[in-house]
Amino acid sequence: MRADHISVRASWGITAAAVAVAAGGCLPAGAGAAGTAVGVAEREFRISLYRATVAPGTVRFNVTNFGEDAHDLAVLTPRGRLLAISPEIRAGRRHTLTVRLRRPGAYRLVCTKLDHPARGMRATLRVRRPRR
């Protein structure tokens, strides 16, 4: 199943079932070192991306939770559909979320916990074809 075709409408309160479907579209965590690595830091209430732009293809989000609360990381297409979501990442823990971002555009990254996105846990990753 291609991750792009999962049609789960993004909302701040994503259900467990949706999470399970979306996770099925991800490449397995730690699937080698293929793709472009993007460092991600989460804390209350910020998401920092260490790379703002990537080329279309497989992206590995190396997420570290520097905060005191548990967080997760959801990747949404430019149209707002849920593409992939990590499991809950406890304080001080790490997780790799591997996703295929095939089309150019502005992909949204959010923590779906409670009101965390509204409080600032959101970021944008731009996918652009490299200039020739």
Partner 1 sequence: MKRRRPRPAPRRRTTGPWTEAHVHRLFWRAGFGARPDEAAEWAKRGRAATLRWVLEGGPQGAALVGPAPSADGKPLDPVNEWAHDGLWWLDRMVRSQRPLVEKMTLFWHDHFATNDQDTPLMLRQNRTLRRHALGSFPKLLRALTLDPAMQLFLSLPNSDKDAPNENFARELMELFTLGVGYTERDIREAARALTGFRARWTDDGFGGIYYDRERHDRGFKRIFGQRGRFDWRDVLRLVVDHPRHAPFLTTKLWEFFVAGPPSRATVRRLSAVYRASGHRIEPVVAEILDHPALYRSLDAPDMVKSPIVFVAGSLRTNGLPVSAQSLTWLLDGMGQRPFDPPSVAGWDWGPAWMSSNSMRTRFDWGNRLIEDDLLGVKTGSTQPPASPAEALEQALAATGRPWISGVTRSHLLEMATRFFDDLGPRTRPQRRSERADMLQRSLRLILLAGPDAQLH
Residues in contact with partner 1 by CB under 8 A are: 33, 37-39, 41, 46-52, 62, 64, 66, 94, 120, 122-124
User: Which residue, 123 or 127, has its beta carbon nearer to partner 1?
Assistant: 123
User: Which residue, 6 or 10, has its beta carbon nearer to partner 1?
Assistant: 10
41 CB-side CA count, 13 A: 8
Instruction: Determine the Cα–Cα distance for residues 35 and 95; give it in Å rounded to an integer.
Output: 16
Q: What is the CA radius of gyration of the chain?
A: 13
Q: How far is the CB of 41 from partner 1 (least distance, A)?
A: 5
Is the Cβ–Cβ distance between 71 and 49 less than 8 Å? Answer: no
Q: How far is the CB of 121 from partner 1 (least distance, A)?
A: 10
